Chains A and B, each alone.
Chain A
């Protein structure tokens, strides 16, 4: 197998893996704060659950990028495919924004969301604001996702794959 395919798969693995790790850490962090609130008042479960799910999206974005990488490069779906190592590295680079930003933004979003759990505990009516604080952090994951998608799109066009 050529090195190119290895790099492409490495990129997909990093995008799904790092983002997933970030989301796992993030949801765990918020979950711990949320469990504290629910132990006092189980009726707040729905509100804190939304906060816990917020940092889970990075993992999904990472998965999205991994799948797009594998399907754009035809690794998923089979066929006779060949990539030079330079091409492979280019795809790897395209995956990096999602991998790196996905990891860090999930953790930082979780911190904002965990603080938001405090808002839900004390002022349940203000939970919309708690959600907004955490959702602001996600913007950067979305921008990274966008950059990765655009780069993947551009590469498949440039290499004439599609």
Chain B
């Protein structure tokens, strides 16, 4: 399986049926509609602005409700699918959309009022605080004059008392006789008071006070501060009452949340429909839609449309130069990896779909890099359980679960090969809690930490296989496009050269002998490797020479001049050596990341069993085990994912894959809560 064949669709139908046909197409969600309008400013469809406004109102109202009455979602919520609706249910609910929009607008106005109230509250609180120091004054709090007597209200920091103030004024201006001070309040920061004197003495009194740091009070109240305070408190109480009222109203509105959710989806769908309606061409009587659909969908769609409507549908091969969107279709194992391909770039015109070819190595490498059977088991159980219990998951979620399930299985495999089950937890428990120094879960193959060299060679061999597989894909693509000679020249010389050089390269790492107590599987691998290595070592020079000659002779074949051909060939030799050396070394990450997981897991186990008291040891071991392994799993999971992708993108794809395809974006209702889609 690979890229699906995509057909071009042209539809002509009476204008009167336009709405029904568009709604029909949207529900099926199998056709992408082309914008065939001339390149002018996109016209806004009828009602598009209003729908957009309604949609934002509903979305904002939902966000507002999230703050007031957050919906508590269980951890498994993301496994739940959207709610499916039949036509009848949809039409019944659709009648409630206008009401929901009204509700949304009401919620938003309530939310605005809450914001206003909050601002008002802050204003009132500030006023209250400034009034409090003057609460004992039984006259208006402002500075002024009665005509004979002037009075100043204000405060001085740090706090002082009446005597100190009067003494200071008397010391500065002994000639002033009629001065009095009344202190209203005093706290740890300041003293609030009024100063009285004759009008003509005012400047001196003010000057003397300013020397002490006097700050004039603002005009707080024209009537008595106590009355003003009471009024402020009443306003605050009224605000609080109104706030509770609004909160209750919002909580009541939250009960009708599902109608808002439906409205959000329905309005979103209507908006998409209106946008796509604008892509059609019109005459007075008929309209024309152009687009793409996968071949099998296109044929079904033609039949259905022509039976149910007065439409003429033409399905044809898209023209050579058209930018046809790409639909991928893969089997159970590969389908989850379509996302990974999509993240790089979808296959372009000349490409095959790389998803299938990369599948085996993807899961294999992921397992090698996570490489702990305990972690793999956890992942496989969690995702496998989800797949079993929640069969109606959304497709995307299902694919993610499948991918991690398979990655988990592969991790179990490699963990068992390396003998890593939550690090060395079996051994640690036996030794620390049962006093027996045995490892109940020994590696099937070998321990990656102590047997680094042999594991490293295995990584390089797997890497080489991965790279050769990529080169084969290049050859296959050449054949597919009718260039069988290119297929030969692109593959055989590379294979010969690399196989010729490989024994020399591996000789740098290979060991002469293995320990006597090596595992049977390890001995088996080692013997095969040694046999192939020795066998190849006797003829590899001839293979290398043949390969080099072929590369020089064929790599520059697209050049016109003889010099160009030779230059291209020699350059290809250089590229081959530097490229493959770097590429193969890059697979060392299979060992490095795998070893990192295992060793850090062992450290967690060691930390957990540090105390020598057996009870304390157990008490400490359990939380350290859980927290430590969770952290190790999390960080290595990301590492394994990222570096598996990298090996595919950089090492594998670069051998044969161009990318640059356009994603197929069918005209459908992109909804969040409900599902309007119907199978064709």
Contact = CB atoms under 8 A, between A and B. Distances in A.
Interface of A: 50, 53-54, 56-57, 60-61, 63-64, 67-68, 125, 127-129, 131-132, 135-136, 138-139, 142-143, 145-146, 149-150, 153, 162
Nearest to B638: A53
A135 B452 contact: no
B586 A132 contact: no
A152 to B, nearest CB: 9
Contacts of A60: 596, 600, 635
Nearest to A132: B649
What 8 A-B pairs come out closest when comparing CB atoms? A128-B343, A135-B646, A142-B589, A146-B588, A142-B592, A145-B592, A53-B638, A64-B596
Nearest to B591: A146
A136 B642 contact: no
B599 A68 contact: yes
Contacts of B649: 128, 132
Contacts of A145: 592
Contacts of A139: 586, 589
Interface residues of B, number: 29
Given A128-B340, A131-B645, A132-B650, 9 more contacts: A50-B641, A53-B639, A63-B600, A64-B600, A131-B642, A132-B646, A138-B643, A146-B588, A162-B450
A141 B344 CA distance: 24
A132 to B, nearest CB: 5
Contacts, number: 73
Contact of A127 (B343, B586, B646): B343
Interface of B: 340, 343-344, 449-450, 452-453, 456, 585-586, 588-589, 591-592, 595-596, 599-600, 603, 635, 638-639, 641-643, 645-646, 649-650
A128 B589 contact: no
Given A54-B642, A68-B599, A129-B344, A149 B635 contact: no
Contacts of B603: 63, 67
B453 A153 contact: yes
A146 B593 CA distance: 11
B635 A61 contact: no
B595 A64 contact: yes
Given A67-B603, A131-B645, A136-B646, A61 B449 contact: no
29 contacts: A53-B635, A57-B635, A60-B635, A63-B603, A64-B596, A68-B449, A68-B599, A125-B343, A127-B343, A129-B344, A131-B646, A132-B645, A132-B649, A132-B650, A135-B650, A136-B646, A139-B586, A142-B586, A142-B588, A142-B589, A145-B592, A146-B456, A146-B588, A146-B591, A146-B592, A149-B595, A153-B452, A153-B453, A162-B450
Given A50-B638, A60-B635, A128 B344 contact: yes
